[in-house]
Structure 1
Amino acid sequence: MDLNKLRTFCSIAEKGNFSAVAEDLFMSQSAVSQQIQALERRYGVVLFDRGSKGATLTEPGRILYNKARKILDIEDEINQEFDDLRGLKGGELHVGASTTVGNFLMPFYLGEFKKRYPEVKVSMMVENTRIIEEQLLAGLFPLAVVEHETQNSSLVKEPIERDRLVLFVSPEHRWADRESVTREELMEEPFITRELGSGTREVMEEKLKESGVDKLNVTMELGNSAAITTAVAAGLGVSILSRRVVHAQLESNMLQQVPIEGVRLEREFYLVTVADRYSSPASLKFREMLVSGDATSPLPDVR
């Protein structure tokens, strides 16, 4: 169906004059007449009564006008919504985030995005890194931010912000007043860690192994950072998490940070997308904001 012919037809129906429509459309009157004749041939009906007072719709013409007007209104709505998407006056942003990023960084990132584009609806899924990568590949969202460098060749990764992992203990722990502990001491102490699939756990184990810490004395595995900080504060063991996660507890002396001799645990947070997959205007703008460094967390990272 030729929408241009329908638009010409509706204009004549509304103005009642072929020559006026031809002038509005910068067309010759014969070209306008040819478009109407083409519609009449297509449907096998006469659409207008042409008289000295202008053009009036026949009964078939009124039927076509009512349907054509709806079609053209829908077309106009589609164009308007696409214009809104391009200008981010509407649309949606769906993102994924691994646990630490989702709880401690993404609220700042998404808050900044909403300040810039308040009419875009935002939603976020938070899981551990392994699950987020699986969901990203399955198409549940177009991009994600994770805390471990992906090894999946189907994913494109871009570093966006640095982070530091720190060892922390209860204020009553015998290490609380120590200037540092050795790697050997760390390997013997009851240790509380995140679950398998956690990006924090993978980075921690990888960096510790590079520093000569081959094995930890893991006595508890917990599925989120809040449970770990509570367990450490209760004296059930020591742990290593992002400094962003324990910042408030360290500042209030509910937990104590203890350096590990000769070990500095740093990492990057990564924006990940699927190679060659369509990205919405909102997700493109969000990516641009993160990669450019325009939005960063006010929480400390690598002090």
Structure 2
Amino acid sequence: MTLTQLRTFLAVADAGSVHAAAQQLYVTQSAVSASLTALQRSLGTRLIQRDGRGLRLTEAGAVYADYIRRVLGLLDEASAAAAAEDDPERGVLRMAAVTTAGEQILPRLLASFRKRHPQIGIQLEVGNRERVRALLDRREVDLLLGGRTTARRDVSVLGVRPHELIIVAPGDGFRLTDQNDLIGWAERQTWLLREKGSGTRETTERFLDDLNLPSAPRSLTVGSNAAIREAVIAGLGVTLISRDAVQRELADGTLIEVPLPGTPLPRDWHLAAHPGTLPATATALVAHVLMTGEFRRPHQHQPDTEPHVPEHPSRAESHHSADTG
């Protein structure tokens, strides 16, 4: 088997057809078919099968695809790490972030990072928690900025930044009289939720369950924080959202914070990575966000999982201290 065969297999798995994969890879359909045939013959296992007018993975193919994504991600990581170590200022930072952090936290951090390191390339993926965690698991990114982390040993937290989840309503959508019956107010509202796979959606659902409302309130699914924010402003409903995402609207009165019991919910943004030595570009970004003061090092010591940071955080950051205490 070859790397070309493996990448072709993943392209077909993602696209669902030989034609779409060929367009994605800029090769002929016959080249894609030949590559698939050779790969399956070398493995002695059927990976792809017909599904109507398209193709889908067999059970064996789904398992194989999961491994191959991680293998190719690790190869890409190795190439990026070697290039960055050779010349950190011309390396590539591979990063993912959950939607709120990608929209509200990272832009200014990356802007200040680029001022210090204008030659470093940045590959940023933004999506819900399931999407970005999958990217980290497959080693398609080196750093992940997200919310709640798990206790799994394959992820280490390098930086922490506190934030709050609050309930917001339109500026004229909550009156002083509503404070006398907050539970009734919550029950009467339409709650705007993120898509499935979003950590904020799960938190909202748990929060509403904990309120023990007499009956389940109405809900409406909206696909992004920006869309939810605008929907609340337009009067379509209320939502639980990070204060980071609505600071401007709270300041100008377009939105108002509603003091439901149990809010605000304290949370942390976590800058996370796989254990082991970080690529020089990722090390430079970690050093930078700690230096800005927005993030701090986690309190807990993680001797078994903490990635090794070289004594020179990277030649790209060697003239800046990364230790903020």
TM-score range, shorter chain: 0.5 to 0.7
Sort the Cα spacing of 1:271 and 1:228 in 2 relative to 1 into closer, same or farther, 3 A.
same
Could you list the per-position Cα deviations for residues 221-279 of structure 1 after superposition, in whole angstroms to 9, with x for gaps in the alignment?
Answer: 11101111222122221111111111122222222222113433110001121234x52
Matched residue, 1:52:
none
Cα pair 1:169 1:258 within 8 Å, conserved: yes
Unpaired runs of 5+ in structure 2?
1-80, 296-325
Cα pair 1:99 1:128 within 8 Å, conserved: yes
Cα pair 1:178 1:258 within 8 Å, conserved: no
Sort the Cα spacing of 1:268 and 1:293 in 2 relative to 1 into closer, same or farther, 3 A.
farther
**Paired amino acid for 1:247:** Q
Aligned partner of residue 292 in structure 2, secondary structure = coil
**Paired amino acid for 1:296:** E
Matched residue, 1:287:
286
**Paired amino acid for 1:130:** E
Could you list the per-position Cα deviations for residues 36-57 of structure 1 after superposition, in whole angstroms to 9, with x for gaps in the alignment?
Answer: xxxxxxxxxxxxxxxxxxxxxx
Cα pair 1:289 1:295 within 8 Å, conserved: no
Aligned partner of residue 202 in structure 2, secondary structure = helix
**Paired amino acid for 1:244:** D
**Paired amino acid for 1:266:** P
5 Å-filtered alignment, 1:17-28, equals: none
Matched residue, 2:166:
166
Give the distance between the partners of 1:213 and 1:159, measured in 2 at CA. Answer: 37
Matched residue, 1:30:
none
Give the distance between the partners of 1:284 and 1:178, measured in 2 at CA. Answer: 50
Aligned partner of residue 263 in structure 1, secondary structure = coil
Sort the Cα spacing of 1:260 and 1:221 in 2 relative to 1 into closer, same or farther, 3 A.
same
Give the distance between the partners of 2:214 and 2:288, measured in 1 at CA. Answer: 39
Give the distance between the partners of 1:97 and 1:253, measured in 2 at CA. Answer: 29
- Larger CA Rg, structure 1 vs 2: 1
Cα pair 2:95 2:144 within 8 Å, conserved: yes
5 Å-filtered alignment, 1:216-235, equals: 217-235=217-235
Sort the Cα spacing of 1:283 and 1:185 in 2 relative to 1 into closer, same or farther, 3 A.
same
5 Å-filtered alignment, 1:242-253, equals: 242-253=242-253
Give the distance between the partners of 1:242 and 1:82, measured in 2 at CA. Answer: 37
Q: TM-score, normalised by structure 1?
A: 0.62
Cα pair 1:169 1:239 within 8 Å, conserved: yes
Give the distance between the partners of 1:149 and 1:109, measured in 2 at CA. Answer: 21
Aligned partner of residue 107 in structure 2, secondary structure = helix
Matched residue, 1:130:
130
Cα pair 1:208 1:263 within 8 Å, conserved: no
Cα pair 1:169 1:175 within 8 Å, conserved: no
Aligned-pair RMSD on alpha carbons? 3.0
Matched residue, 1:5:
none
Sort the Cα spacing of 1:180 and 1:136 in 2 relative to 1 into closer, same or farther, 3 A.
farther
Give the distance between the partners of 1:213 and 1:115, measured in 2 at CA. Answer: 50
Matched residue, 1:273:
273
Sort the Cα spacing of 1:268 and 1:185 in 2 relative to 1 into closer, same or farther, 3 A.
same
Q: TM-score, normalised by structure 2?
A: 0.58
Give the distance between the partners of 1:118 and 1:214, measured in 2 at CA. Answer: 56
5 Å-filtered alignment, 1:79-118, equals: 85=85, 88-118=88-118
Matched residue, 2:200:
200
Matched residue, 1:296:
294
Shifted more, 96-105 versus 209-218: the winner is: 209-218
Shift in Å at residue 159 of structure 1?
4.7
The percent identity for this pair of structures is 23
Aligned partner of residue 182 in structure 1, secondary structure = helix
Give the distance between the partners of 1:211 and 1:262, measured in 2 at CA. Answer: 9
Unpaired runs of 5+ in structure 1?
1-80, 298-303
Sort the Cα spacing of 1:87 and 1:147 in 2 relative to 1 into closer, same or farther, 3 A.
same
Cα pair 1:99 1:127 within 8 Å, conserved: yes
Give the distance between the partners of 2:234 and 2:92, measured in 1 at CA. Answer: 42
Give the distance between the partners of 2:152 and 2:215, measured in 1 at CA. Answer: 26
How many residue pairs get aligned? The number is: 215
